[in-house]
Every structure is written in C-alpha cells, then in structure tokens.
C-alpha cells in the first residue's frame, strides 16, 4: 500500500514539473573533466553552473556564467543552446623536471623528476546543447569546455577539446 502511494506521488510530481520552468539542477558531468555539477538559473535565460571535478590527480572548482537560448528545431521545443564564460581554481599533481648537473653538448642530459602538487587557476568557456526532459524531471547535455590553465604561476596549459556528457536532476 505504501509503495503504491509513493508511486502515485512520484507520478504527480513528475507531471506537475513538466508544466514548470526549472530553477535548479544537479548531477554528473562525464568527460575529460568529470565531476559533480550544480546549475542555478538567475532568470529564464541566464544561469550559474558550478562543477567540482578531479583532474590530473587533483581537485578543481569551476564556476561558469551561462546564457541559454531555445533552439528552433521543428520536431521538439525542449532543446536549448547554451554558452558562457567562467574560471576555475584548484590543484594538480604534475611531474616537475629539472636538469641535473651541467649540460654537455653532444651528451645525453640527465633530468631529475619530482612529483609535486601545484596550485592552478584559469579561465573557461563553454558551448553546449541541453535537452530538458521535464516529465522525468532531468536534463541531458553535451558540451565542449575549453580552458586555459595557469599552473603554479610558472606554466600555462590550453585544452580545447574538454567535451562531456551531463545528466542532471531538476528540482
């Protein structure tokens, strides 16, 4: 009896969510920078997304300001294009190479390799497509999130193809 009542309440909640615009979603991002994600809409077209992720044996927090635009697709009106900018901060574990001893021309140089954790921060952009499946309630998204890293204030790194698939629960 309790399970039937719970099923009815879940069905009613799912159908009432389909008629509403959602304000918050939370889920997972699966890609090069995988992690947990939370999105909050400021208004119908602008949102803030936060991603807690692991990369290169480290941890990062990313914040993105996004703009959402409905896509004019003839067969369905629940597809949205989104784009935005933001930044990240965290740390990574990398190999730090140093030349051991003086370099002798014509000889093989010897390197000393130290594994160290480095502070990292950088800038991000994002471009993606989101399908809002409000009857379940969830969203499915596919995005590309290029970034520029400043690692330990000594190095920079650029990655253009940080693509991911996201699944988020709407609440």
Task: Show the 3-state SS of 53-95.
Answer: ECCCCCEEEEEEEEEEEECCECCECCEEEEEEEEEEEEEEEEE
Q: How confident is the model at residue 153 (pLDDT cuts 50, 70, 90)?
A: low
With a pLDDT cut of 70, the percent of the chain lying above it is 83
Which residue from 168, 106, 97 is spatially nearest to 137, judged by alpha carbons? 168
Mean pLDDT confidence for 60-81: 90
Query: Is residue 23 a contact partner of residue 30, using CB atoms and an 8 Å limit?
Result: no
How far is the CA of 103 from the CAs of 96, 97, 114, 126, 145, in angstroms?
18, 14, 19, 44, 40
Query: Is residue 93 a contact partner of residue 56, using CB atoms and an 8 Å limit?
Result: yes
Torsion on CA atoms 100, 118, 165, 126, rounded to nearest 10: -110
Torsion on CA atoms 99, 100, 103, 108, rounded to nearest 10: -90
pLDDT in tens, 130-142: 999 988 999 999 9
Residue 82 has pLDDT above 50, yes or no: yes
Query: Is residue 63 a contact partner of residue 88, using CB atoms and an 8 Å limit?
Result: yes
For residue 143, give the 3-state DSSP assignment: strand
Task: Share the mean pLDDT of the chain.
Answer: 84
Mean pLDDT confidence for 114-141: 92
Mean pLDDT confidence for 111-124: 85
Mean pLDDT confidence for 148-170: 90
Residue ranges and CATH numbers for the domains of the chain are 2-170 (2.40.160.20)
Q: Which segment of 14-28, 45-59, 92-106, 116-130 scores lowest on mean pLDDT?
A: 14-28
């Amino acid at each position: 009896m309790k399970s039937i009542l719970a099923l009815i309440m879940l069905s009613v909640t799912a159908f009432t969510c389909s008629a509403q615009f959602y304000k918050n979603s939370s889920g997972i991002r699966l890609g090069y920078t995988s992690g947990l994600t939370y999105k909050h809409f400021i208004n119908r077209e602008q949102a803030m997304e936060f991603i807690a992720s692991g990369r290169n044996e480290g941890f990062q927090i990313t914040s993105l300001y996004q703009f959402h635009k409905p896509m004019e697709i003839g067969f369905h009106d629940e597809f949205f294009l989104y784009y935005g900018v933001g930044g990240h901060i965290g740390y990574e574990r990398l190999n730090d190479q140093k030349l051991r001893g003086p370099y002798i021309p014509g000889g093989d140089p010897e390197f000393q390799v130290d594994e160290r954790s480095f502070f990292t921060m950088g800038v991000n952009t994002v471009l993606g497509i989101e399908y809002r499946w409000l009857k379940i309630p969830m969203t499915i998204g596919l995005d590309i999130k290029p970034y520029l890293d400043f690692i330990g204030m000594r190095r920079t790194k650029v990655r253009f193809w940080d693509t991911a698939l996201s699944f988020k629960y709407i609440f």
